[in-house]
Amino acid sequence: MKHGIAIGVAVIGLSVAFGIGLIDIDGAGGYSGLSPRFMPTLVALGLLVCGVMILVNAVRGRFVAGDDELEASGEALPLSPSAGIDLLWLIAGLLLHMILIGWVGFIAASTLLMVFVARGYGSRKPIRDALVALAVTVPIWALFSQVMGISLPLLPLLKT
């Protein structure tokens, strides 16, 4: 229970930090009538909702951060032997996304990122993960570029 309360409070604190950071963002301008504060506000609100949900579940005794028996006994929760490798998959995915987005475009770079993240979380089905990633990234690209008028690179290598 105490771990859940600490995590909930930390997430709420992060939300508050994002909220305080919003003060320094100029609200004028933006794309398609959206303020530059729009996305950071959504992130802050999302963190707040998640933090409150974690806190409520922890107080009700429904927060599970690992092996319940070990947590109750006060022993350290064991890490998977592959935890470091799993983290490397996540880091590699983020780095590749940052490096490749300008060359291969939003959809390809984001699909690759999602495949790496899924692998980091234990998936061993990269084809399925890529298809799911495409099903997510194509509508996101369409929403931003076609509906909101925000330019996301599609295939920069094909430009002349």
Task: Give the tens place of pLDDT for each residue, 140-158.
Answer: 988 888 877 777 888 776 6
In this structure, how many other beta carbons lie within 10 angstroms of the beta carbon of residue 10? 13
Convert the pLDDT of each residue in 36-93 to its tens digit. 788 788 889 999 999 999 899 888 887 765 545 455 555 555 666 777 888 899 999 9
Neighbours of 135 (CB within 10 A): 10
Contact call for residues 111 and 137 (beta carbons, < 8 A): yes
CA Rg value for the chain:
20
